[in-house]
Amino acid sequence: MNQVTPGTQPGRWRLGRRGSFWAAALVLALVLWSSGAPSVLYPIYAEQWALTPLTVTTVFATYQLALLLVLPLIGNLSDQIGRRRVMIWGVALIAASAVLFAIAPNVSFLFIGRALQGAGAGLAMGAATASLLENNPRINPRFASSMATVATATGLTIALALSGLLAEVTPLPLLWSYVVLLGLSLASITTLALTRDDRPAHASRWRPQSPSVPAGIRLPFVVATFSVSLAYCVGAIFLSLGAHMITQFARTDNSAVVGALLALSAAAIGVTALFLARVSPRVCVWLGGLLTLLSLGLMWAASSAGSAPLFILWCLVGGTAYSFAFTGGLGLINRVAPIHHRGSTLSLLYLVAYALQAVTAIGVGAIATSGSLGLAVMVAALAISALCLTLLALLWATKNSAK
């Protein structure tokens, strides 16, 4: 197959630019689907295998830890060999993880499965985000950032709701969510195989290279990374201990209800993102930071009062805050990152964000195990509030340099 550039016309059996855009969006949805699929099931695993909160959150964080190992090695891979091939490899690892989760007889399989999910996400997420930007069918560049948020939110919403429903109504609660994930992974690989070859004409022999930030964009990179990291740290609470919090504080063990409550947050992310294409990235980051502070207060209040209505409000406000912070961060990077270094730059952004997410999850799990879940929620709220205030201070300090 001859090398082609992203602008080459599709062949008879190839999807065009628009098809490549939606294939990349499907990959982003799948990555978040795989990340969220076990979240509703963690209380079931904990009950069946007598797992502590620390063990559960460490299983969750294995995903992020795998990313931390993979991204420094392959951060520039899609810049060199094309987005399509890297996405296919990443989705293949996610498919393998679904098999391990489906047959897991003990917690060791969960650790291996999460590691494969993290490695797959490390390959696929930066490449898919870059592919969205480069195949954007709209003139407005913010459309790609908004659709990245919508895609990830859609995948996460359906994964949480469907996992909870299948766990409640099927005789094998720990199986069917992963059967669906495997089927979607195979469908995604098939779709990617039908997109055009996007290997860049400037490609040279690939060598491992740590993700880096091109000179001249470091300040907006820091702001963007803090914004995405803020969203991910709040997401760590939702996805690692959210089901435990709802089960304990709202006093329900119905998996369908737990999944629906968690899915509310992801749905709020997607719905909010639909309206952000015309909002400037800096405004998104400002609103994301302020709404995150509000959501953290609601999280602490919901845990203290054991109130289901407060949990619903926390999920909605937290999801809206996530959408503003994540979309704004990506929008800042999309505006300043040069195309030939975009994959590497995005990989470094995700590297930092996932590192902070892992620290948040493991830290909260350790406090919940040694102390109580309520104490863990309070400490997490205070720590993430400090990150949020740091982001807002950076925005204020750099307001005069904004374009």
Please report the pLDDT score of residue 5 as a whole number: 46
pLDDT band, very low/low/confident/very high, at 403 (cuts 50, 70, 90): very low
Please report the pLDDT score of residue 211 as a whole number: 63
Helix axes 218-249, 308-336, angle to 10 degrees: 160
Please report the pLDDT score of residue 206 as a whole number: 60
For 329, residues 6+ apart whose C-beta sits below 8 A from its C-beta are 223, 224, 225, 226, 227, 228, 231, 281, 285, 349
Instruction: Collapse the DSSP code of 15 into the 3-class scheme (helix H, G, I; strand E, B; otherwise coil) and give the result.
Output: strand
For 181, residues 6+ apart whose C-beta sits below 8 A from its C-beta are 30, 33, 34, 37, 94, 95, 98, 101, 159
CA distance 96 to 185: 9
Please report the pLDDT score of residue 207 as a whole number: 64
**What average pLDDT score do residues 217-234 get?**
88
Other beta carbons within 10 angstroms of residue 220's beta carbon come to: 22
Please report the pLDDT score of residue 204 as a whole number: 59
10 is a domain residue: no
pLDDT band, very low/low/confident/very high, at 266 (cuts 50, 70, 90): confident
Query: Which CATH number fits the domain that encloses residue 224?
Result: 1.20.1250.20
8 is a domain residue: no
Please report the pLDDT score of residue 17 as a whole number: 82
CA distance 313 to 6: 44
DSSP states of 334-396: HHHS-GGGHHHHHHHHHHHHHHHHHHHHHHHHHHHHHS-HHHHHHHHHHHHHHHHHHHHHHHH
34 is a domain residue: yes
Beta-bridge mates of residue 15: 195
pLDDT tens profile 17-36: 888 899 999 999 999 999 88
54 is a domain residue: yes
CA distance 217 to 45: 44
Question: Closest Cα to residue 55, out of 74, 68, 42?
Answer: 42
Mean of all residue pLDDT scores within the chain: 85
206 is a domain residue: no
pLDDT tens profile 328-378: 998 888 787 776 667 677 778 888 898 898 999 999 999 989 988 889 889
2 is a domain residue: no
pLDDT tens profile 159-174: 999 999 999 998 889 9
Give the residue numbers spanning the domain of 71.
17-201+211-401
Please report the pLDDT score of residue 210 as a whole number: 62
335 is a domain residue: yes
123 is a domain residue: yes
Question: Closest Cα to residue 35, out of 202, 319, 238, 230?
Answer: 238
In this predicted structure, the answer to whether residue 8 has a pLDDT above a threshold of 50 is no
In this predicted structure, the answer to whether residue 295 has a pLDDT above a threshold of 90 is yes
**Regarding predicted confidence, which is higher, 73 or 18?**
18
How many structural domains is the chain composed of? 1
User: What is the pTM (predicted TM-score) of this model?
Assistant: 0.79
Of 43-57, 64-78, 192-206, 250-264, the range with the highest mean pLDDT is 43-57
**What average pLDDT score do residues 74-87 get?**
80
Q: Retrieve residue 316's tokens.
A: 């909605």
